[in-house]
Amino acid sequence: MAPGEVVSRTGTRFPSVVAADASAIRREVLKRNPDAVAIEEAQFFGADLPGIIEELVAGPRTVIVSGLDQDFAGRPFATIPELLARADEVTKLTAICVSCGAEATRTQRMRNGKPASVSDELIVIGGMGGDDTYEARCRACHVVLP
Ligand SMILES: [Zn+2]
């Protein structure tokens, strides 16, 4: 992989850009005018993302969005619920629970080796919140301290 591109497992290469916010996505798409746009980590963009995606889809073009639907406490994450409601098609992927091997639908935040508290900040950038790690967990194994 080189800067400015993403590469599929089959070796297909696509141009990519890092977007600081949703308006940067709009700006890049309008400049390049692609037939399709893929947006990763959508949960980290602001409340303007759904409206901007509606503009981009009207292009017309295909917009594929991926993101976490729940935060570490199991709460709906940012604008993902709205994006799910507006989407023409939804695919919900799961992982394998690291504790029991069941289907994992949740993200477990561990802080210094213990489950995080529901009162912890939502987004931790660059480890500023301590020694945080994230694990895939099923509903039964997902723990959030009060
Ligand atoms: Zn489990």
**CATH topology for the 1-91 domain:** Rossmann fold (3.40.50)
Cα–Cα distance for residue pair 55/75, rounded to 1 Å: 27
Residue 142 CA, ligand 1 centroid: distance in Å: 7
- The runs of H, that is alpha helices, within the chain are 22-32, 49-57, 80-86
Rounded to two decimals, what is the model's pTM? 0.86
The distance from CA 23 to its chain's CA centroid, rounded to whole angstroms, is 17
pLDDT in tens, 107-118: 999 988 899 999
**CATH topology for the 94-146 domain:** Wheat Germ Agglutinin (Isolectin 2); domain 1 (3.30.60)
Residue 124 CA, ligand 1 centroid: distance in Å: 24
Q: Using alpha carbons only, how large is the chain's radius of gyration in Å? A: 17
Residue 10 CA, ligand 1 centroid: distance in Å: 32
Residue 112 CA, ligand 1 centroid: distance in Å: 20
Of 62, 74, 129, nearest to 107 (Cα)?
74
Cα–Cα distance for residue pair 22/33, rounded to 1 Å: 16
Domain ranges across the chain: 1-91, 94-146
Residue 69 · residue 78 · CB < 8 Å:
no
Residue 56 φ/ψ, nearest 5 degrees = -65, -40
Residue 11 CA, ligand 1 centroid: distance in Å: 34
Q: How many residues does the chain have?
A: 146
Q: Do domains 1-91 and 94-146 have the same CATH topology?
A: no
- Whether cis (ω within 30° of 0) applies to the bond prior to 146 is no
Of 23, 30, 26, 1, nearest to 14 (Cα)?
1
pLDDT in tens, 37-87: 999 999 999 999 999 999 999 999 999 999 999 999 999 999 999 999 999
Residue 64 · residue 39 · CB < 8 Å:
yes
Residue 143 CA, ligand 1 centroid: distance in Å: 10
pLDDT in tens, 13-44: 989 999 999 999 999 999 999 999 999 999 99
Q: Which residues are catalytic?
A: 41
Instruction: Output 56 or 127, whichever has higher pLDDT.
Output: 56
